[in-house]
């Protein structure tokens, strides 16, 4: 349930609402935008008398949240969230790019990729140290050594690091090196892992499961947020359908749907979404036009030699063309008033 305050409600009015909620053992969350003041209420709402809450000074009305997920819903939190990763803002209207190799292969490979990525204006370097691979015989990642290379790349470039954590036991270590923890598609419903990254308080990039509905995905975000970690960014990376030409079917409509259903920022991964480097540019452009807050793109200094996902990785030249186009499209949409704001 949320409590909508009158526009002229005072801080004291809001505090009284918070106290009324907390006095019956429920949790209150204050959300203040430029036009709206809202107090969210988490817990069993049967414990509270809605009528007496509505009678408090400064309260306009209360609204029940109809969704199975609450904290992640726009009903609960009508104001779009901006996730701040150590000074980089995701969801503030400027596209954020997370780019780099699928897997960290060596320090040289990573540093080379990092330089290209930085040149193209990306704010994050991506790279898997722990790789969840379909075949157990495929390269599984450099693990802790890879994490050290990522930290070294951050030292040399200033780029933020986003990298995947695949198991509960590794959260603490990965959180030491990364600026943002990535939960991959295969782990989207690993509920213990979601709770653990929630408790770590590091920002989380939550990829959509291979066959997850939007409701399942947003409930996965809810698991993280329930632990008190609101810094969740969603990433659409394609879903499994009957189509076999592309690796996955990139569900671009998820961007518009999630923007309506949730206040969380959403980015798009056209690399895993298509599995084909030729399709990365058009899908990256489409994602920005659709209102995505950013992109995750695989880039390799030499895709033909990549130890994983070379077929969907961009060469340095192609990456620079794509990122340049992305910023131009975003700028054009802002300048012409075409940016999607009617959520």
Residues lying near ligand PEP in the complex (CB under 6 A) are found at 102, 128, 132, 164, 184-186, 207, 237, 272
Does 102 engage in binding with Mn ion (CB under 5 A)?
A: yes
Rounded CA separation 296/95 (Å): 11
Residue nearest to ligand PEP (CB): 184
With CB under 5 to 8 Å by kind, the binding choice for 205 among ligand PEP, Mn ion, none is: none
3-state SS assignment for residue 185 = helix
Q: Between 58 and 275, whose beta carbon lies closer to ligand PEP?
A: 275
Q: Between 71 and 114, whose beta carbon lies closer to ligand PEP?
A: 114
Q: Between 102 and 194, whose beta carbon lies closer to Mn ion?
A: 102
Among 37, 91, 309, 316, binds Mn ion (CB under 5 A): 309
Asked if 165 and 174 count as a contact pair (C-beta separation under 8 A), the reply is: yes
CB atoms within 10 A of CB 210: 15
| Long-range contacts (CB closer than 8 Å, 24 or more residues apart) made by 135-141 | 138/308, 139/103, 139/105, 139/307, 139/308, 141/103, 141/104
Q: Minimum Å distance from CB 182 to ligand PEP?
A: 6
Q: Between 225 and 239, whose beta carbon lies closer to ligand PEP?
A: 239
Q: Between 58 and 209, whose beta carbon lies closer to ligand PEP?
A: 209
Does 104 engage in binding with Mn ion (CB under 5 A)?
A: no
Span 238-267, contacts to Mn ion by CB under 5 A: none
Distance set, CA 306 to CA 95, 207, 237, 318, 321 (Å): 27, 22, 20, 16, 21
Rounded CA separation 298/314 (Å): 6
Does 306 engage in binding with Mn ion (CB under 5 A)?
A: no
């Amino acid at each position: 349930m949320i409590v909508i305050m009158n526009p002229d409600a005072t801080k004291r009015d809001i505090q009284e609402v918070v106290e009324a909620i907390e006095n019956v053992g429920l949790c209150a969350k204050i959300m203040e935008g430029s036009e709206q003041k809202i107090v969210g209420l988490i817990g069993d709402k049967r414990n509270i008398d809605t009528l007496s809450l509505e009678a408090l000074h400064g309260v306009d009305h209360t609204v029940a949240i109809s969704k199975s997920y609450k904290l992640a819903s726009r009903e609960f939190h009508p104001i779009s969230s901006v996730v701040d990763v150590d000074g980089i803002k995701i969801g503030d209207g400027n596209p954020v790019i997370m780019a780099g190799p699928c897997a960290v292969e060596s320090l040289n490979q990573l540093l080379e990729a990092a330089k290209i990525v930085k040149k193209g204006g990306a704010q994050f370097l991506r790279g898997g140290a722990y790789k969840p691979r379909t075949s157990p015989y495929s390269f599984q990642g450099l693990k802790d050594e890879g994490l050290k290379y990522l930290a070294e790349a951050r030292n040399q470039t200033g780029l933020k690091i986003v990298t995947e954590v695949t198991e509960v036991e590794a959260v603490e270590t990965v959180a030491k090196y990364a600026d943002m923890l990535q939960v991959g598609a295969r782990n989207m419903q690993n509920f213990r892992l979601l709770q653990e990254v929630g408790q770590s308080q590091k920002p989380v990039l939550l990829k959509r499961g291979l066959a997850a509905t939007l409701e399942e995905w947003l409930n996965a975000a809810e698991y993280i947020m329930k632990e008190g970690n609101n810094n969740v960014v969603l990433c659409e990376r394609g879903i499994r359908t009957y189509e076999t030409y592309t690796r996955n079917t990139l569900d671009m409509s998820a961007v518009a749907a999630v923007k309506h259903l949730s206040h969380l920022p959403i980015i798009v991964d056209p690399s895993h979404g298509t599995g084909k480097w030729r399709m990365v540019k058009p899908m990256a452009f489409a994602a920005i036009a659709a209102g995505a807050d950013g992109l995750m793109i695989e880039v390799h200094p030499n895709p033909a030699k990549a130890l994983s996902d070379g077929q969907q990785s961009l060469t340095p030249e192609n990456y620079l063309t794509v990122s340049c186009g992305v910023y131009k499209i975003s700028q054009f949409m802002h300048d012409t008033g075409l940016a999607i704001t009617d959520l």
